[in-house]
Amino acid sequence: MRTILCIVFFSFIINTYGQTDKVLGVWLSEEKTGKVEIYKKADKYFGKVVWISPSKYVNGEPKKDVENPDVKLRTRSVLGIENLKNFVYDADDKEWDNGTIYDPQNGTTYDCYMWFEDNNFNTLFIRGYVGFSLIGRTTEWTKSSLQ
């Protein structure tokens, strides 16, 4: 009986830990105009823009963060921006929540959470919202690589 309980317990731990880090890696935006690399610092998850489509370049340079509400940041490149911040994995809900996502297209930072559906770890659902999650937008990102 003890053996069975130990097996069940460790299977649960391994499964939970395994899902936790499935979010790590490079993700292609739904519009296919950008890629974000999600990584872990301590117990939180972050993401930064690692590629933008050449169609988003201006005069051969990556687009600038011109919509940023902080005037001092408007000259920085969108490439390299840490646009996902402070996500924590919630094992009960099987989602990463309590984070924020910054949209350089409009200069707005939204509350956000992310999740997978039906054990499909190649599609990441991301919901950004203001105030209540009912008022927001969901987008789908696809697992990718830096190429």
Q: What pLDDT is attached to residue 56? A: 85
The Cα–Cα gap between 67 and 74 comes to 7
Q: φ and ψ at 20, to 5 degrees?
A: -50, -45
Q: What pLDDT is attached to residue 6? A: 34
What are the structural domains of the chain? 2-143 (2.40.128.520)
Are 82 and 48 contacting, i.e. CB atoms less than 8 angstroms apart? Answer: yes
Per-residue model confidence as pLDDT tens for the chain (147 residues): 554 433 334 444 334 445 679 999 999 999 999 999 999 999 999 999 999 999 889 899 999 999 999 999 999 999 999 999 999 999 999 999 999 999 999 999 999 999 999 999 999 999 999 988 888 999 999 999 876
Q: What pLDDT is attached to residue 13? A: 39
What's the predicted TM-score (pTM) here? Answer: 0.84
CB-based contacts of 26, cutoff 8 Å, min separation 6:
35, 36, 37, 38, 50, 51, 143, 144, 145, 146
Give the model confidence (pLDDT) of 72-100 as tens digits: 999 999 999 999 999 999 999 999 999 99
